[in-house]
C-alpha cells in the first residue's frame, strides 16, 4: 500500500520544555540539519509522487522553521492537505509568521493545557502563557484553532474554563489524556472520567476510542498495536530523511534512494513496519493509530466513528451547538454505546509476526460483522484516501454524515425563511444530540447485528 500521509518534523528544535515531551532532552533529536525551502519543496514533490496527500507539519516547534510558509504553499500547489501544530509562543515576530501561514493550513492546532500562568510554567517549563493567549486571540480572528489540551491530574479541574475560553474564540478544544508512549498505556481513571464528562460539551473534542485503547494496552503490555507507521503514514525528519520506524521510537534516519515510494516498497523496508517491532509492544503513540482503527470493525472502530463524526459536527456548527442541557441523559445513553462497543470485542489482540501481511490493511481478512462479504481492496483504498481519512462508505458514520450534513443546514434554512420560529429552531438543535445518539445506537446495532439482552449486547 502507498503511504497517503506524512508527518514532517521540519525541526526538532523547540522553545518549550514540556515535562511530558523528550524532544528537547533526548540526544537523538539534537543538532539535526534542517532543509531549506528549496530542498523542502523537492521533498514535498517526491512525497506527492509517492502518493502522499496529507502532510502534518510538526516538530519541535514547526514555526521555528523560517521556510514553513513556503513549504505549506508548495503543498497547496500540489493539492496536498496540511496540518500544523504550534505551541503559540515566540513573541510578535513568530506570531506574525504563523498568521501568514494560516491561508495554507487546513487543520490548525495550538497547544494549551491551562490558563493558569503558574501551572503553565510548571507543565511547559517556560513562562509564556500570555504569548500563547495572544496568539490564540489573533489567529482566531482569521482561522480559529483547535486547542490541544493534554489533560493531567493537575489541570483536570480546569476543563470548563478552558472550554469557555476556546468557545469565546470560536475554537474547539481537543481533550487528550496524558500518556506515556511505551508504558503500555497507563490507567488514569480520574483523568479519563473528567474528559468523558465533557463529551457533549459544544466545543470539546473527545476521542473515546483512544481511552478504550489505552486501557487495553495497560492490561496487556505485550500487545502489538495497530500502527500505520511506514505503511499508510511515513515520518520525515528535519533533513528530509525517513525516520524509522517512527518519531517516538526513532532508531535511525535514512535518506531514500531513488524515489521514496520505490524505497518503501523494498523488501528490507518491511522490517520497519509499525506494529511488528519489539518497541511496538504496549505502544500507545496514538498519532500513528487513528487511521488503522477503522480497518477492523470492533469496539474501537465504533467509538472512533462516533467520536469523530460528533467532532466534525461540533467543528462545522460550533456557533449553533447548544450546551448539552440534558447532559446526564446523554452520558447515560453514551454508556449504552460503550456497552455495544464492548460486545464487539477487540479482534486486534492476535500477535502478528514480523514480515507477515498485516490484516489491518485488508479488512476482509478479519472476522468482522459488517464485511462478511469482504470489502474489496479497491473500495477500501478509495475510502481511505478521502479527506477525512476514516471513510469506509458502508459504515454507520457515512450514514451519519448524510444525516447531519442535511439536517443542520435544512434547519438553518427553515429558520432563515421563517418556516420555523427561532424557538422551534433552538428546541430542535437542543434535542439533536440525543436524537442523533439514539439513531446511531440503533443503526450500529443493526449493522453489527447485535441484540440487547439485559445490561449487555450480544452478537446475534
Ligand atoms: S511544545 Fe511540543 S515539541 Fe515542544 S517541548 Fe512541548 S510538546 Fe515537545
Ligand atoms: S507501534 Fe509505536 S513504536 Fe511501533 S512503529 Fe508504531 S508508533 Fe512506533
Q: Are residues 281 and 303 in the same domain?
A: no
User: Ligand 2 pocket check: which of 7, 180, 279 to mutate, most ligand atoms within 8 Å of Cβ?
Assistant: 279
Mutate to test the pocket of ligand 1, among 16, 29, 176 (most ligand atoms within 8 A of CB): 16
- Say whether pLDDT at 387 is over 80: no
Q: What is the mean pLDDT of the segment spanning 387-394?
A: 50
The answer to whether residue 399 scores a pLDDT higher than 50 is yes
Ligand nearest to the CA of 248: 2
Using CA positions, which residue lies closest to atom 5 of ligand 2?
274
Q: Given this model, what pLDDT does residue 302 score?
A: 82
Which range, 140-144, 185-189, 392-396, 434-438, has the best average confidence (pLDDT)? 140-144
Boundary of a domain, candidates 288, 305, 330 = 288
| Whether the predicted pLDDT of 86 surpasses 80 | yes
Query: Does the beta carbon of 126 lie inside 6 Å of ligand 1?
Result: no
Q: Do 369 and 245 reside in the same domain of the chain?
A: no
- What confidence category does residue 413 fall into, taking pLDDT thresholds of 50, 70 and 90? very high
Print the domain residue range for 261: 5-288
Domain endpoint, select from 254, 270, 288: 288
Say whether both 275 and 303 belong to one domain: no
- What is the pLDDT confidence band of residue 362, given thresholds at 50, 70 and 90? very low
8: confidence class by pLDDT, cuts 50, 70, 90: very high
Both 270 and 310 in one domain: the answer is: no
Same domain? 61 vs 79: yes
The answer to whether residue 373 scores a pLDDT higher than 60 is no
> Per the structure, how many domains does the chain have?
2
Question: How far is C-alpha 70 from the geometric centre of its chain's CA atoms?
Answer: 25
* Confidence at 93, pLDDT banded by 50, 70, 90: very high
Do 283 and 308 lie in a common domain?
no
- Residue 217 Cα to ligand 1 middle (Å): 24
Q: What is the CATH number of the domain that holds 131?
A: 3.20.20.70
CB-side neighbour CA atoms (13 Å) of 222: 3
Same domain, 205 and 120: yes
Q: What is the mean pLDDT of residues 405-434?
A: 87
Contact in structure between 261 and 304 (CB atoms under 8 Å): no
Residue 447's pLDDT is: 72
Whether the predicted pLDDT of 315 surpasses 90: no
Cα 175 from Cα 342, distance rounded (Å): 23
pLDDT at 194 over 90: yes
The percentage of the chain sitting over the pLDDT mark of 70, rounded to a whole number, equals: 82
Say which residue, 403 or 56, is predicted with more confidence. 56
Give, using CA atoms, the residue closest to atom 8 of ligand 1. 21
Least confident of 61-65, 201-205, 266-270, 348-352: 348-352
Can you give the pLDDT at residue 394?
Answer: 58
pLDDT band at 439 (very low <50, low <70, confident <90, very high): confident
Q: Do the beta carbons of residue 43 and residue 70 sit within 8 Å?
A: no
Q: What average pLDDT score do residues 11-23 get? A: 91
Locate the ligand 1 atom nearest the alpha carbon of residue 124 and give its number. Answer: 6
pLDDT digits (tens, 9 = 90+) for 31-50: 999 999 999 999 999 999 99
pLDDT tens-digit map of 124-147: 999 999 999 999 999 999 999 999
306 shares a domain with 200: no
Q: Which of 131-140, 210-219, 332-341, 422-431 has the lowest mean pLDDT?
A: 210-219
From 228, 257, 288, give the residue that closes a domain. 288
Q: What is the mean pLDDT of the chain?
A: 84
| Cα 225 to ligand 2 centroid, rounded to whole Å | 8
Ligand nearest to the CA of 246: 2
CA 250 / ligand 2 centre spacing (Å): 9
Query: Does 203 share its domain with 97?
Result: yes
Quote the crossing angle between the two packed helices 117-124 and 129-140, to the nearest 10°.
100
- Residue closest by Cα to atom 6 of ligand 1: 18
- Residues 113-130 have a mean pLDDT of 95
User: Which of 210, 155, 209 has the alpha carbon at shortest distance from 185?
Assistant: 210
Confidence class of residue 348 from pLDDT cuts 50, 70 and 90? very low
pLDDT at 407 over 90: no
Same domain flag for 106 and 228: yes
Stronger pLDDT, 322 or 104, i.e. the higher one: 104
Question: Does the pLDDT at position 342 exceed 50?
Answer: yes
Same domain for 406 and 335: yes
pLDDT at 229 > cutoff 80: yes
Write down the pLDDT at residue 276.
Answer: 85
Mean pLDDT of 394-405: 65
What is the distance between the alpha carbons of residues 444 and 442, in angstroms, rounded to a whole number? Answer: 6
Q: What is the mean pLDDT of the segment spanning 355-363?
A: 42
> What is the reported pTM?
0.88
SS3 assignment for the chain: CCCCEEEEECCCCCCCCCCCCCCCCCHHHCCCCCCCHHHHHHHHHHHHHCCCCEEEEECCCHHHCCCHHHHHHHHHHHCCEEEEEECCCCHHHHHHHHHHHHHHCCEEEEECCCCCHHHHHHHHCCCCHHHHHHHHHHHHCCCCCEEEEEECCCCHHHHHHHHHHHHHCCCEEEEEECCCCCCCCCCCHHHHHHHHCCCCCCCEECCHHHHHHHHHHHHCCCCCCCCCECCCEEEECCCCCEEECCCCCCCEEECCCCCHHHHHHCHHHHHHCCCCCHHHCCCCCHHHCHHHHCCCCCHHHHHHHHHHHHHHHHHHCCCCCCCCCCHHHHHHHHHHHHHHHHHCCCCCCCCCCCCCCCHHHCHHHCCCCCCCCCCCHHHHHHHHCCCCCCCCCCCHHHHHHHHHHHHHHHHHHHHHCCCCCHHHHHHHHHHHHHHHHHHHHHHHHHHCCEEEECCEEEEC
Residue 361, pLDDT score: 42
Indicate whether 49 and 164 sit together in one domain: yes
Amino acid at each position: 500500500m502507498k503511504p497517503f500521509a506524512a508527518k514532517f518534523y521540519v525541526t526538532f528544535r523547540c522553545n518549550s520544555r514540556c515535562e511530558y515531551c523528550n524532544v528537547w532532552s533526548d540526544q537523538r533529536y539534537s543538532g539535526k540539519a534542517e532543509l531549506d525551502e528549496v530542498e523542502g519543496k523537492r521533498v514535498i514533490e517526491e512525497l506527492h509522487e509517492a502518493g502522499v496527500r496529507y502532510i502534518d507539519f510538526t516538530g519541535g516547534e514547526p514555526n521555528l522553521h523560517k521556510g514553513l510558509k513556503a513549504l505549506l504553499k508548495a503543498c497547496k500547489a500540489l493539492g496536498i492537505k496540511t496540518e500544523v501544530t504550534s505551541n503559540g509562543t515566540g513573541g510578535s515576530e513568530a506570531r506574525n509568521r504563523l498568521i501568514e501561514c494560516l491561508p495554507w493550513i487546513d487543520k490548525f492546532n495550538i497547544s494549551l493545557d491551562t490558563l493558569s500562568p503558574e501551572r503553565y510554567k510548571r507543565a511547559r517549563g517556560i513562562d509564556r502563557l500570555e504569548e500563547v493567549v495572544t496568539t490564540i486571540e489573533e489567529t482566531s480572528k482569521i482561522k480559529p484553532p483547535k486547542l490541544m489540551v493534554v489533560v493531567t491530574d493537575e489541570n483536570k479541574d480546569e476543563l470548563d474554563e478552558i472550554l469557555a475560553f476556546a468557545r469565546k474564540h470560536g475554537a474547539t478544544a481537543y481533550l487528550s489524556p496524558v500518556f506515556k508512549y511505551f508504558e503500555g498505556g497507563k490507567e488514569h481513571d480520574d483523568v479519563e472520567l473528567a474528559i468523558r464528562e465533557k463529551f457533549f460539551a459544544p466545543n470539546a473534542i473527545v476521542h473515546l476510542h483512544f481511552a478504550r485503547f489505552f486501557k487495553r494496552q495497560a492490561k496487556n503490555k505485550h500487545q502489538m498495536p495497530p500502527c500505520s507507521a511506514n505503511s499508510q503514514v511515513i515520518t520525515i525528519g528535519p533533513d528530509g530523511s525517513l525516520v524509522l520506524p517512527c518519531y517516538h521510537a526513532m532508531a535511525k534516519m535514512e535518506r531514500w534512494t531513488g524515489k521514496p515510494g520505490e524505497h518503501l516498497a523494498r523488501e528490507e523496508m518491511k522490517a520497519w513496519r509499525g506494529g511488528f517491532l519489539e518497541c511496538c509492544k504496549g505502544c500507545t503513540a496514538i498519532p500513528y493509530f487513528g487511521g488503522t482503527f477503522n480497518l477492523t470493525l470492533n469496539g474501537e472502530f465504533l467509538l472512533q466513528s462516533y467520536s469523530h463524526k460528533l467532532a466534525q459536527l461540533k467543528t462545522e456548527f460550533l456557533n449553533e451547538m447548544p450546551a448539552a442541557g440534558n447532559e446526564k441523559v446523554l452520558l447515560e445513553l453514551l454508556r449504552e454505546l460503550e456497552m455495544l462497543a464492548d460486545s464487539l470485542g477487540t479482534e486486534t489482540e492476535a500477535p502478528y509476526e514480523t514480515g507477515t501481511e498485516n490484516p489491518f490493511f485488508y479488512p476482509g481478512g478479519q472476522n468482522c460483522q459488517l464485511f462478511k462479504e469482504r470489502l474489496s481492496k479497491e473500495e477500501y483504498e478509495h475510502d481511505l484516501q478521502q479527506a477525512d481519512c476514516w471513510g469506509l462508505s458502508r459504515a454507520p458514520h457515512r450514514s451519519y454524515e448524510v444525516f447531519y450534513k442535511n439536517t443542520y443546514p435544512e434547519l438553518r434554512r427553515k429558520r432563515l425563511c421563517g418556516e420555523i420560529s427561532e424557538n422551534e429552531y433552538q428546541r430542535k438543535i437542543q434535542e439533536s444530540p440525543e436524537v442523533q445518539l439514539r439513531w446511531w445506537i440503533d443503526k450500529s446495532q443493526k449493522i453489527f447485528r447485535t441484540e440487547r439482552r439485559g445490561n449487555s449486547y450480544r452478537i446475534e
